[in-house]
Structure 1
Amino acid sequence: MQSTLKMVLVVILVIYLFIISKSVKHKNMRINYLIFWSIAGILLIIALLAPNFIENISKTFGFELPINMIFSCAIFVILYLIFDLTRLITKEQNKNVMLIQEISMLKQRIEKIEKEGNKNEGI
């Protein structure tokens, strides 16, 4: 890869890391996802600056080609993210069910109090 292309990609990745850090500051992203995306960005910078590093790691783990290791890692990371997001969605759905139940109970109490108030006014 040409050195100018490498430098452009490194600059883009540094901007990417900056944007991610700003997202947490503005509470658009949770800290655990910040750590995940920051590590991903740093690993990409390392892969750009030291391509032999990826080749050595892939050979160590028994992959024939470095791209096979990269795709395998990407698949496992995506599966983890899907699992984590599914867990968060389930947690939020459970909160919604609890809130709906509390609201319906409060509505029943309000209606009961209003009926009792109307009966007392009629006396």
Structure 2
Amino acid sequence: MISLNLQVFLAIGIIIYIFLMIKQLLKNNLQSSFLTFYFVSTLILIGAILMPKFVDKFSKILGFETTSNMIFLITIFILFYIVFNLTLKLSKEQERIVNLTQEMSILKSKVEKLNKKEEK
């Protein structure tokens, strides 16, 4: 069974999590695709707090010695998922930066050629 300390820790984490989501949503800093993921993960955490016996039985079925081990492993997998998605986005942005830099260089070269023609 999930200990009371872990339940309190999760409850505090969820409150902070929800506060940060709302704050970023109000600032329009959070994309809807991320918001959906964070909202679903928050609902799962709330379910874990409200139904600790179910989570305990589920962790035993999966072969975990303690429920907290399962929770931390799931958290680690979620973090890996987030890092992977951010890496994909970063790769796309780096490609865009390279393309924009190349386009800017081409345009700059064309402007310089036009300026030279006008000077003559």
TM-score by length of 1: 0.78
**Residue 56 of structure 1 aligns to which amino acid in structure 2?**
K
Q: Cα distance, 1:63 vs. partner? A: 1.4
- Are the structure 2 counterparts of residues 72 and 12 from structure 1 closer, same or farther at C-alpha, using a change threshold of 3 Å? closer
Q: Once superposed, which parts of structure 1, at least 4 consecutive aligned residues long, lie more than 4 Å away?
A: 9-12
Q: Distance in 2 between matches of 1:90 and 1:16?
A: 27
Q: 1:62 to 1:11 in 2, by over 3 A?
A: closer
Larger radius of gyration: 1
CA distance in 2, matches of 1:70, 1:10: 14
C-alpha spacing 1:12/1:65, structure 2 compared with 1 (3 Å): closer
The answer as to whether partners of 1:21 and 1:34 remain within 8 angstroms in 2 is no
Pairwise CA distance, 1:65: 1.2
How many percent of aligned residue pairs carry the same amino acid? Answer: 37
Q: Which runs of 5 or more structure 2 residues have no equivalent in the other structure?
A: none
Segments of structure 1 that go 5 or more residues without pairing to the other structure are none
Instruction: Give 1:42's aligned residue.
Output: 43
Flag the 1:95–1:111 CA change in 2: closer, same or farther, 3 A. same
Show the counterpart of 1:78: 79
TM-score, scaled to structure 2: 0.80
State the Cα distance separating 1:102 from its structure 2 match.
0.5
Structure with the larger RCO, 1 or 2 (CA within 8 Å, 6+ apart)? 2
Task: State the number of aligned residues.
Answer: 116
